[in-house]
Structure 1
């Protein structure tokens, strides 16, 4: 079994020093500084993927992998499958490849393939009527059941600005579970089931599993706030780098306050009654898209 453990795409972090000019040169300097965002690393078209792909982002995706592993109660997937069979597994949007790697290490008899933006698209696909799909989407709008989170919180402002910016960019991050189910049904998928996971921003819950998951979610979000926010808010909302970083700093402080019993919803859609596994993870938390494939 072989796989490439290196990350071919490495881009400059948003936290690097940029020009302080807030006039007409602001965006020009931004674009010049991030010259490598525009297709010079691998085959990824940067105009279609606005978020950074750097070592910090790769680490953040691995942290979020741990978060999802915990909320699945230490399972790599939620479907009821005969794992003794030589299943065929497709991880589309494989990111760092950590999920595909761990799955193939745990089940070496399975055929696991990871695909991502920076990979030549395969010429083969599953025969219609076969496969299993599991779709995971994060709704970034913060929720709070006891009103402990102020209505004018930095977290609420951040989520609103991020969603608005991505709407303007043409890559909306808003989650509409009902519409998603309808689209999946129209595409021919059957036996669609939905599970809503509560992703708490810090370990305020009493439940041990939720508490551990919250620690990982907090770490992943805290380390990725600027990466998530910098390009969308500067390019689409006209904010300065300093304004974005100031907002992210305030959000970072709030998500670490246990007195704020806030969380966001994660929707898991499973499509069952299929004979060959094709596990498809689509996470709307933007992150690096680095190809990873494995063979035995």
Structure 2
């Protein structure tokens, strides 16, 4: 699980990641540099209708708010989400959050879009005196949990039913593919945070970074990213994270900070810490491209499942190419609700 991260972190530059020139890794056929793909709101009660999941092209999706969210919720996706949590722990050197919670331990914490619940469960263990609540569209979280942790089925885009000024800390990670109205969403967070409470918004860039011109503009990975962003634009989901600070300011938050941490895709960096992150990120791509792209490409762009899967596989193979050095930038935004609340502020709802 995570820790409070008392160890001192080394300073990692946010760009110009040095490539390990002596690095060689075999992920597939050497001639093609391919990886094989075979590595390892109204809160509603749980009813049979919630778990009567629809299936598309062999993947299982959410029943609640059906069709609005394009990532799957099956066991393959749950494994990917848990691995991604592991990657975030590596990015943060074992910490669960960058929020300054040590001085004033939270009493109530909300994890929005909790997925498998792994972050919330780690928080419940780290802060046993706090009440940890995780919400998601599907009940894919464990049934046996710590007594200070619970999970609810809810749509974060609906009106929240919690009391105002209720949570000391709200955690929102990787929701750019599900939140359409960020102004309303930030207003909800503001309304339900206690005065002085913190919010952490974590989102990733919509383009891959590359510092050494090793990322061809016409490769399948580049085509995938262009196609993916086009579909997001059509759905109105391509406005994060570039406007996160603007949304936080508009909601009334103060002490807003932004930090960028890169996730290399592949063990190509020279730095050992980034190399390890890159290894896990590469393994994660074995299912991530299909998770993000399959339903989006077929539903929004009208692609056939065969064409969509071919593009996903081509992108994943490019990530396994030792000559392509790309990384994904992750944006960590922290903000605080002021103590002197202006009830007439539009962020206060």
Distance (whole Å) between structure 1 residues aligned to residue 130 and residue 88 of structure 2: 21
- The answer for the alignment partner of 1:258 in structure 2 is 322
Distance (whole Å) between structure 2 residues aligned to residue 113 and residue 83 of structure 1: 21
- The answer for the alignment partner of 1:64 in structure 2 is 84
- The answer for the alignment partner of 1:141 in structure 2 is 207
Gaps in structure 2 of 5+ consecutive residues = 1-49, 139-152, 155-159, 167-190, 340-349
Whether the 8 Å contact between 1:13 and 1:54 is mirrored in structure 2 is no
Cα offsets for 1:258-279 (capped at 9, x unmatched): 221111211111114779xxxx
| Greater fraction helix | 1
Distance (whole Å) between structure 1 residues aligned to residue 53 and residue 283 of structure 2: 21
Cα offsets for 1:217-256 (capped at 9, x unmatched): 2222322211211111112222111111111111111111
CA positional deviation for 1:15: 5.5
Q: What secondary structure, in the 3-state scheme, does the structure 1 residue paired with 2:209 have?
A: strand
Q: Quick check: 1:96 aligned with 2:160?
A: no
Q: Quick check: 1:244 aligned with 2:308?
A: yes
CA positional deviation for 1:59: 1.1
Distance (whole Å) between structure 2 residues aligned to residue 156 and residue 260 of structure 1: 11
Distance (whole Å) between structure 2 residues aligned to residue 274 and residue 216 of structure 1: 38
Q: Quick check: 1:82 aligned with 2:146?
A: no
- The answer for the alignment partner of 2:163 in structure 1 is 124
1:1-296 mapped onto 2 (5 Å cutoff): 9=51, 11=53, 16=58, 37=61, 39=63, 44-82=64-102, 85=105, 87-118=107-138, 119-120=153-154, 122-126=161-165, 129-170=195-236, 172-177=237-242, 179-272=243-336
Distance (whole Å) between structure 2 residues aligned to residue 212 and residue 53 of structure 1: 27
CA positional deviation for 1:9: 4.7
Cα offsets for 1:110-148 (capped at 9, x unmatched): 221112234155432435534211101111311211101
Equivalenced residue count is 245
Over 3 Å counting, the alpha-carbon distance change for 1:61 and 1:9 in structure 2 is farther
- The answer for the alignment partner of 2:26 in structure 1 is none
Gaps in structure 1 of 5+ consecutive residues = 1-7, 17-33, 276-296
Distance (whole Å) between structure 1 residues aligned to residue 292 and residue 94 of structure 2: 27
Distance (whole Å) between structure 1 residues aligned to residue 320 and residue 338 of structure 2: 42
User: TM-score normalized by structure 2?
Assistant: 0.64
Over 3 Å counting, the alpha-carbon distance change for 1:174 and 1:183 in structure 2 is closer
Distance (whole Å) between structure 2 residues aligned to residue 96 and residue 189 of structure 1: 29
Whether the 8 Å contact between 1:142 and 1:155 is mirrored in structure 2 is no
Distance (whole Å) between structure 1 residues aligned to residue 55 and residue 62 of structure 2: 14
Q: What secondary structure, in the 3-state scheme, does the structure 2 residue paired with 1:161 have?
A: helix
Distance (whole Å) between structure 2 residues aligned to residue 263 and residue 10 of structure 1: 37
- The answer for the alignment partner of 1:289 in structure 2 is none
Distance (whole Å) between structure 2 residues aligned to residue 84 and residue 167 of structure 1: 40
